[in-house]
Amino acid sequence: MRDIGVDPEVISDAIWLACRAPSLYNSQPWHWVVDAAGIELFAEPDRAPARTDTSGREVLIACGAVLDHFRVAMAVAGWMTYVETFPNPNNLDHVATIGCDPMDFVTDGHRQRADAILRRRADRLPFAAPPQWDAVVERFAEDQTRDVRIDAIPRQAHRQLADASAMTVSARLYDSSYHAELLGWTTDVAVAEGIPASSLLTAAESERVDIGRRFPTVRHEDRRGEIAEDRAEVVLLSTYDDTRHSVLRCGEVLSAVLLDATMAGLATCPLTHITEVPASREILAELIGHRGHPQVLVRVGVAPGADDIEPPTPRRPLADVLEFRV
C-alpha cells in the first residue's frame, strides 16, 4: 500500500472520534498504528473481559465498529478510505490496513453522521416506542451486506427475547468468575474504561427493562418514571458464518445501524449477553429460522427529555490507543 499522505493531526482527530465506538463493558480492545504501510488497526484481546466474551467474537465486533466509525471520521475530514481486512495471515489480531484518498466534497450528510458519533451512547433505560418503525427498518436494511443480515424482531416475539435474556441470568447464576468480572468493569466514578455507575440502572428501572444484561444495580433517583414498561423495538444482527471476517463485518454494520438510528433521533442500546450463552443464542436463531448466526441485538426507541441522558462514557487517552511509527 502506498504512502497515505494524510496529516498526522487529521489521523489523530479521526481516531479520537472513532474510539467513541461501542465495546463490551467499554473495554476498548483495539490499538492503532500509523506507519509507512498505512493506518493499521489491531485487536487487543488481552484487554477484553475474557470470562464474558469466551469466544472472542465481541472483540472483533468492537473492532468492526471502531473501523466503521473511523471511516466516518475520515470522511468528514475530507478523506475516502479503503480497507484491507486481516492483511497478515500470521497475525490474526492485525484486523485491518487502511489507505486514504482525497474526497471531492464533504456533504452535510458526512457532517451529520460524524456528529452522530458524538451524540450516540448506550442507553439502558426504558424507551418509548419509536415512531414510523417500518421506515426505520427499511433504512436499516440498506446497511445489510453479503455477510450480515438485519432482522427486526416482531413485537409478539419480544416475550421470547425476554425469556432468553432471563435464561442468561440463570445460566450464570453461580458463575463467580463472570460476576467478579462484571463487577470489576463497573465503577463508582467515571474512568477511562469500564461503565460508570451513572450509566447503570436502579432496581426499579431494571424491572421495567426486560431485555438487557443484568448489571449490579445502583442507588439514585429513578428516571423515566412516565414509561411504565420498555417499548423499545429490537433488531438482530446475524452473520451467515462465524468466521473472523464475518464477525468483524458485523461490527461495521452495528456501527452503521447505531449511527442511522441516532441520526433519526432515536436512542439505542447494543446487547450481546443473549448471544454469549448457547441456549439463549439458539432461541435467537430460531426466531430468524436458523438463517444466520446471531451476533448482537440492538434496542431502539425514544428517550423522552434530555435531563436523564447521561454524559458520554469516558475513553482511554489517545496516547494509549494510537502509535505513530513514521
pLDDT at 310 over 50: yes
Alpha-carbon span 148 to 251, nearest angstrom:
10
Strands 30-35 and 322-324, sheet pairing: parallel
pLDDT at 15 over 90: yes
Q: Buried b / exposed e across 69-105, counting CB within 10 Å, b at 16+?
A: bbbbbbbbbebebebebbeeeeeebbbbbbbbeebee
Grid coordinates in use for 81?
A: 478510505
Element (H, E) at 9: helix 8-18
pLDDT-based confidence at residue 308 (cuts at 50, 70, 90): low
Strand partners, 32: 41, 322
pLDDT at 135 over 70: yes
Strands 94-102 and 79-85, sheet pairing: antiparallel
- Confidence (pLDDT) at 1: 39
- Confidence (pLDDT) at 4: 64
Alpha-carbon span 149 to 216, nearest angstrom:
32
pLDDT at 61 over 70: yes
Q: Tell me, letter by letter, the H, E, C secondary structure of 257-302.
A: HHHHHHHCCCEEEEECHHHHCHHHHHHHHHHCCCCCEEEEEEEEEE
Q: pLDDT per residue over 77-92, tens digit each? A: 999 999 999 999 999 9
Delineate the domains of the chain, giving CATH numbers in brackets.
Answer: 8-121+313-324 (3.40.109.10), 133-301 (3.40.109.10)
CA 135, distance to chain mean position in Å, is 22
pLDDT at 270 over 80: yes
Q: Residue range 311-325: average pLDDT? A: 93
pLDDT-based confidence at residue 309 (cuts at 50, 70, 90): low
pLDDT at 2 over 50: no
Query: Which residue type is seen at 2?
Result: R
Number of H helices, E strands in the chain: 11, 11
Alpha-carbon span 304 to 171, nearest angstrom:
34
What average pLDDT does the structure give for the chain?
Answer: 95
User: Percent of the chain having pLDDT more than 90?
Assistant: 90
Grid coordinates in use for 68?
A: 466503521
C-alpha closest to that of 253 among 34, 38, 71, 127: 71
C-alpha closest to that of 114 among 75, 67, 62: 75
pLDDT at 258 over 50: yes
Q: pLDDT per residue over 102-118, tens digit each? A: 999 999 999 999 999 99
What phi-psi label fits residue 57: left (phi over 0), alpha (psi between -120 and 50 degrees) or beta?
Answer: alpha
- Confidence (pLDDT) at 53: 97
- Confidence (pLDDT) at 3: 52
- Confidence (pLDDT) at 230: 96
Q: Residue range 283-294: average pLDDT? A: 97
Q: pLDDT per residue over 94-103, tens digit each? A: 999 999 999 9
Alpha-carbon span 239 to 98, nearest angstrom:
23
pLDDT at 295 over 90: yes
Within 10 angstroms of residue 175's Cβ, the number of other Cβ atoms is 13
CA 136, distance to chain mean position in Å, is 18
Q: pLDDT per residue over 193-231, tens digit each? A: 999 998 999 999 999 999 999 999 998 888 999 999 999
